Amino acid sequence: MGEWKEKPLSDLAILYNNSWKVGDEECPYIALEHIEEGKLRLNGIGHSDIVASNKYRFNEKNFLFGKLRPYFRKVVKPQFSGICSTDIWVVGARGVTNLTFLFYLFANQEFVDLAYSGSSGTRMPRADWKFMKDTTWLTPSDIEEQKAIASVLSSLDDKINLLHRQNKTLEAMAETLFRQWFVEEADEGWEEKRLGDILISIESGSRPKGGIDPDLKHGIPSIGAENINGLGNYNYGSTKYITSEYFEKMKRGIVQDYDVLIYKDGAYIGKKSMFAKGFPFKKCAINEHVFILRTESIFLQLFLYFALEQEELALLNANSAQPGLNQTSMKSFELLLPKSELIEMFGQTIMPLIDKIFFNGNQIRALEKLRDTLLPKLMRGEVRVKI
């Protein structure tokens, strides 16, 4: 086992500010919104044709750290070249430092917390490199031990990314079947129904008096914008919680398996989600910005999930100043309703795909928890890796 030494960050890492200017070559673009909060992965990629100001270049020898509001822990290691927002640090390894090890050092919560404590600005805090570069970090002198630590952590992230890709494939298969059965092969004899005629209930959540305690980590999760992420893709790292006492008094807004959840106002209007089977919390509620849509059968729930498009729901906006949906506008939404036998057949066909997505989602959360538990221990040398 090699020796560990305290080293200033400036001996381990270097920032790159290579400028890309509007009109330069086209390339992928990463903004802060493309980096998932606390997940160490991208949730999308933009393109330079939408960019209207100068940006920073990055390549495979760099990773990215979101310096604006660093407590969001937006850190990612792209495997391609492109450009990024100037609110993102483009980081490279200096000296005898392994890049992937350095990436996990920056992703460590201790680093994130320190970056936030030394940030400048009150409303829009930004990590300050002048402050961070002089901080010291215990680091293995042997680069082979750095590589071994990086290998343990990256193997977990590789598995997480594989499961995410698998879930995208499974959801795409279900969407393809829906389009084939109910769009391409639609029957003119199908009846046009209003959503209000199909639902047995539509519920909205509520906000506890005095607000939700952001420090409460052992209560009941309250689903909001950060959690409305499609099938089983629940970001509980930034979840707000309500007390068990408040939950027991709730008359509505309690989530059940296969409920269709719709975000009803603001920038996320019409965005949808669904949870079931093995959801990490036995009890769960929605906040005041979310609708629960519930029908008489799970198969009809699955049909409804794929039938509702965010763009179409957004057109139901019932408010002028602040975009939003209300129960009346939701119930008025019209869609073609096939025969119940076809809906049941569709549900039976895609149910194994959907349940596999939920199963994978639980695996992803378990692996993320394991990674984030191991990460600080490995970075402090509390857990050593044989080389």
Task: Put residue 80 in one of left, alpha, beta given phi > 0 → left and psi -120 to 50 → alpha.
Answer: beta
- Would the pLDDT of 185 be above 80? yes
What value does the mean pLDDT of the chain take? 91
Catalogue all structural domains in the chain, each as residue range(s) with its CATH number.
4-141 (3.90.220.20), 172-338 (3.90.220.20)
**Residue 208 pLDDT:** 74
Interacting residues of 49 by C-beta distance below 8 A, sequence separation 6+: 26
pLDDT digit string, tens, across residues 189-233: 899 999 999 999 999 888 777 667 666 777 888 888 878 888 988
Does residue 190 contact residue 275 with C-beta atoms inside 8 Å? Answer: no
φ, ψ for residue 321, nearest 5 deg: -70, -50
Q: CB count, 10 Å around CB of 17?
A: 9
Going by C-alpha positions, the residue among 215, 232, 358 that lies closest to residue 223 is 232
Query: Contact, 57 vs 18, CB < 8 A?
Result: yes
- Label residues 178-192 b or e (16+ Cβ within 10 Å = b): beebbeeeeeeeeee
Contact present, 299 and 348 (Cβ < 8 Å): yes
Confidence band (pLDDT; 50, 70, 90) for 1? low
Write out the H or E segment, with its range, that includes residue 90: strand 88-93
Report d(CA 293, CA 311) in Å as an integer: 17
pLDDT tens, position by position, 25-67? 999 999 999 999 999 999 899 999 999 999 999 999 999 999 9
Q: What is the pLDDT of residue 320?
A: 59
What single DSSP character describes residue 76?
E
* Radius of gyration of the CA atoms of the chain, in A: 24
Strand, helix or coil for residue 93: strand
Provide the 8-state DSSP code for 381. Answer: T
Answer yes or no: is pLDDT of 153 > 80: yes
For residues 81-108, give the mean pLDDT: 97
> Six-digit token pair at 132?
């961070």
**pTM for this prediction:** 0.89
Helix axes of 298-307 and 143-179: crossing angle, nearest 10 degrees: 100
> Residues 229-251: pLDDT tens digits?
889 887 766 678 888 888 888 88
Burial class from Cβ neighbours inside 10 Å (0-12, 13-18, 19+) for residue 122 reads exposed
Structural tokens at position 91: 């980081």
Which residue from 65, 46, 57 is spatially nearest to 20, judged by alpha carbons? 57
Q: How remote is the C-alpha of 89 from its chain's centroid? A: 21
Q: Is the pLDDT at 111 greater than 70, yes or no?
A: yes
Closest CA to 73 of 235, 232, 224: 235
Three-point CA angle 263, 265, 267, nearest 5°: 95
Sole residue written with tokens 């799970």: 298
- Are the CB atoms for 156 and 26 separated by under 8 Å? no
Instruction: Calculate the alpha carbon distances from 293 to 157, 264, 378 in Å.
Output: 34, 12, 44
Collapsed DSSP state (helix, strand, coil) of residue 206: coil
**Cβ–Cβ < 8 Å for 138, 6:** yes
pLDDT confidence of residue 318: 62
CB atoms within 10 A of CB 250: 15
Low-confidence winner among 90-104, 122-136, 252-266, 270-284 (lowest mean pLDDT): 270-284
Query: What pLDDT is recorded for position 138?
Result: 95
Torsion angle of alpha carbons 221, 222, 228, 230, nearest 10°? 40
